[in-house]
Structure 1
Amino acid sequence: MNAVTPVIPAGLLQSVERARALLDEGDYVAARLLSAGAYEQAKAAVDHAQRVKASDRLIAKAREMQLSALEIEAMATVGLADEVDAAQAAGLISARGGRPKTVAGGDGFRIADLGVTRQQLHEARRLREVVRQMPDFVRVTLGERIKAGLSPTRANLRAAIGTASAGKADRGDNLYQTPPEATLSLLALERFSDLVWEPACGRGAIARVLEASGYQLRLSDLRDYGTQSEDGTAQEVGNFLASRAPEGGAGPDIVTNPPYGEDLNRFVAHALREHRPRKMALLLNLNVICGYADPDRTFWMEDHPPARVYAFKHRLPMMHRDGWEGEKASSRMNTGWFVWERQEDGSYGRSTLLHRIDWEDFAGRDPLSPNYAGAFGRASFVDVDAEDFTRQTPRRTLAESVEAVREQVRAWLAAARGQGRTQLDRRTLRQQLGIRDATAIALIDEFCAVGLLGPADDGGAHPILDWGSDAA
């Protein structure tokens, strides 16, 4: 790095501190102007620091300055929105729109005189509703990007406000119609069973493309949208979280755009735990690759990872909320198809391949034909709501997990011994069968106790012993 080239411009910290002082004093116009300039300086400093390969500490410091400036700019705009709203309530805004009168007999002060647009004021009002519930919303939300090694930007803030300010009544059941470009891309890359289950079918955006590509459908959703297949079969109404796998038979492959709200992690985990589809494709926000606090997400991203992820190089056409009548916009979300595929040993493997694709490349490409036909059972729905389902089916205990895979491990051990394998370690067991580490430990201890495995050597490998009739 060139020592004479400063990574963070001189005076940037002072500009941010002065802007914060102006915000505290209630001079929102000056605070917003000064913080906006500081934001641009900090953003340029981040870009420069990355180009000259500055230390992570300096890059993080520049990003922190960018966040501070953005936070001040946002809250100054909220303050201006408060002033405009108060002036409108008092009848002090001109007919064309403007700011409160500050001069006796003044006339014609417009909103534009504040240096903000009506759209910015609209966004500020939405942010105001959010910070009333969470005062540190901007810092907490965008601070996560800094922790992840990313820069906080105005676009990130707008996206966060949009997500946080859409109440449950507005979001409804998180129905966002999937653009056909997404499904066409998937079907040009992957084959599925000739019967596909779409368990969050909505108004049939994915279903229509599937049927046009030669697939038969089973449709269901939490709500009755009146969706039908081409042969007139109506969708079923049922909560996927309260669904049960078919008795005595496998279910069809699953393709859907699942609800992204608070039930997303449970939705994916339930599909893999309960239904164990031969193949499943879900259209997801690429951010799901990150995150560690939710055990359900750990279950489906680490313990039972997707075989492939097709990440779109650029964003899909906007998926607007069902019933949205506002201005249409381009998508702010990076998405991709996550594809799970069950292996011959019953697991979903241990690794994920990432492919970057451009959905525009698949607009005129023919879909692949179905590659698997069979007699599929039908999943059933339990007549309970999601909360009841959660209470009635608690997470598996360790003993229950061991019981569920015990015979599978026995069969694998027998096959391994028949193929000449003489040793087994915990890592191999996890990789081959896709089970949790705690389950692998418990099973190895159990099989050592009954004489199927011997004591571990210094490297943690257990000899696979000769099996007597009792042990087998």
Structure 2
Amino acid sequence: MSQNRSHAVMAQRAEPHDSLDFFPTPPWATRALCWHVLREIFGPTEDMSVWEPACGIGAMAIPLKERFRRVYSSDVHDYSHIWPGQERVTDFLLHGSESPCIETQGVDLIVTNPPFRLGVQFARRALEAPFVRRGVALLVRTAFLESVERHRLFTDHPPAVVAQFVERVPMVKGRLDRKASTATSYAWIVWARGQTDTRMRWIPPCRKAFDRDSDWPVQGSPS
């Protein structure tokens, strides 16, 4: 029997209920957020702080460090044996999971690629946290814009910008893979304090400009 390669089937990303749903973000996609989206909404970010609460192996946190003064990194799973930059092992969805520094000083932004099945919970936790000063950015499948549950989220918390990638952002479970391909479409959803008139914009072709050889694991090394 031949494989069903229809766009609808290939775009699915179903994970078991207890899965970590660990799909590392190609670093160029985070640089695209910083350059094409965050600058437009918030201005320069070099003096800002950001928390990446699903940091995994640091694929998103590392490029964030290029643009932010302070990047806090945590995850529910311990990846520090692969990426020493992980500072805490903690469940972001639990109130009180923030570090004492974030609790007392606050953080400007939360930026992350949440587990898809927990995307709404991640969004509400971040948007309703009193220590987040300026906003939240989530990398999600474009299909995240659908469903009644998410409509309630967007009604309660209208985003400032939905930024759709015009290029595919290939992600592979458990590792970074430069040669991967995908039928799944992704977008950044960005909320900004005081901005409730949602705008749609497109992230132009930029993988070639933002991709770096050093972003990808050397063949045979841990990813």
Tell me the TM-score range normalised by the shorter chain.
0.7 to 0.9
1:237 aligns with 2:78: no
Number of residue pairs the alignment of both structures matches: 196
Contact 2:24–2:175 (CA<8 Å) still a contact in 1? Answer: no
Classify 1:248/1:218 alpha carbon distance in 2 versus 1 (closer, same or farther; 3 Å): closer
Classify 1:315/1:272 alpha carbon distance in 2 versus 1 (closer, same or farther; 3 Å): same
1:360 aligns with 2:212: no
Does the residue aligned with 1:305 lie in a helix, a strand or coil? coil
Superimposed CA distance per residue, residues 415-438 of structure 1 (whole angstroms, 9 cap, x where no aligned partner): xxxxxxxxxxxxxxxxxxxxxxxx
- Measure, in 2, the Cα distance between the counterparts of 1:247 and 1:357: 33
- Larger of the two Rg values belongs to structure: 1
Q: Give 1:310 shift.
A: 1.2
Contact 2:75–2:92 (CA<8 Å) still a contact in 1? Answer: yes
Q: Give 1:266 shift.
A: 1.0
- Measure, in 2, the Cα distance between the counterparts of 1:240 and 1:182: 22
- Taking CA–CA contacts closer than 8 Å with sequence separation of 6 or more, which of the two structures ends up with the larger relative contact order? 2
Q: Give 1:364 shift.
A: 5.3
Aligned equivalent of 1:198: 52
Q: Which runs of 5+ in 2 are unaligned?
A: 40-44, 212-223
Aligned equivalent of 2:168: 315
Classify 1:241/1:209 alpha carbon distance in 2 versus 1 (closer, same or farther; 3 Å): same
Q: Which runs of 5+ in 1 are unaligned?
A: 1-76, 78-115, 124-152, 344-348, 366-472
Q: Give 1:223 shift.
A: 0.5
Superimposed CA distance per residue, residues 149-200 of structure 1 (whole angstroms, 9 cap, x where no aligned partner): xxxx82212444xx34x5457xx30111101121111111314452211111
Classify 1:362/1:272 alpha carbon distance in 2 versus 1 (closer, same or farther; 3 Å): farther
Superimposed CA distance per residue, residues 61-95 of structure 1 (whole angstroms, 9 cap, x where no aligned partner): xxxxxxxxxxxxxxxx4xxxxxxxxxxxxxxxxxx
Q: How do 1:177-192 and structure 2 match up within 5 A? A: 177-189=24-36, 190-191=38-39, 192=45
Classify 1:313/1:159 alpha carbon distance in 2 versus 1 (closer, same or farther; 3 Å): closer
Contact 1:196–1:252 (CA<8 Å) still a contact in 2? Answer: yes
| Structure 1 residue corresponding to 2:6, chosen from 154, 161, 181 | 154
1:176 aligns with 2:23: yes
Contact 2:114–2:139 (CA<8 Å) still a contact in 1? Answer: yes
Q: Give 1:249 shift.
A: 4.7
- Measure, in 2, the Cα distance between the counterparts of 1:298 and 1:206: 27
Aligned equivalent of 1:337: 188
- Measure, in 1, the Cα distance between the counterparts of 2:53 and 2:87: 9
Q: What TM-score do the two structures reach when normalised by structure 2?
A: 0.76
Superimposed CA distance per residue, residues 84-131 of structure 1 (whole angstroms, 9 cap, x where no aligned partner): xxxxxxxxxxxxxxxxxxxxxxxxxxxxxxxx5xxx3xx6xxxxxxxx
Aligned equivalent of 1:440: none
- Measure, in 1, the Cα distance between the counterparts of 2:93 and 2:31: 27
Does the residue aligned with 2:147 lie in a helix, a strand or coil? coil
Aligned equivalent of 1:289: 145
1:266 aligns with 2:127: no
Contact 1:196–1:216 (CA<8 Å) still a contact in 2? Answer: yes
Does the residue aligned with 2:28 lie in a helix, a strand or coil? helix
Q: How do 1:387-398 and structure 2 match up within 5 A? A: none
Contact 2:11–2:185 (CA<8 Å) still a contact in 1? Answer: no
Please state which structure has a larger fraction of its residues in strand: 2
Structure 1 vs Structure 2 CA RMSD = 2.8
Q: Give 1:268 shift.
A: 0.8
Contact 1:198–1:218 (CA<8 Å) still a contact in 2? Answer: yes
Q: Give 1:213 shift.
A: 3.2
Superimposed CA distance per residue, residues 410-459 of structure 1 (whole angstroms, 9 cap, x where no aligned partner): xxxxxxxxxxxxxxxxxxxxxxxxxxxxxxxxxxxxxxxxxxxxxxxxxx
- Measure, in 2, the Cα distance between the counterparts of 1:155 and 1:209: 30
Q: Give 1:235 shift.
A: 1.8
Q: What TM-score do the two structures reach when normalised by structure 1?
A: 0.38
Contact 2:32–2:210 (CA<8 Å) still a contact in 1? Answer: no
Classify 1:330/1:173 alpha carbon distance in 2 versus 1 (closer, same or farther; 3 Å): same
Does the residue aligned with 2:206 lie in a helix, a strand or coil? helix
Superimposed CA distance per residue, residues 259-311 of structure 1 (whole angstroms, 9 cap, x where no aligned partner): 112x221111111123462121111111121211x2xx234312211101110
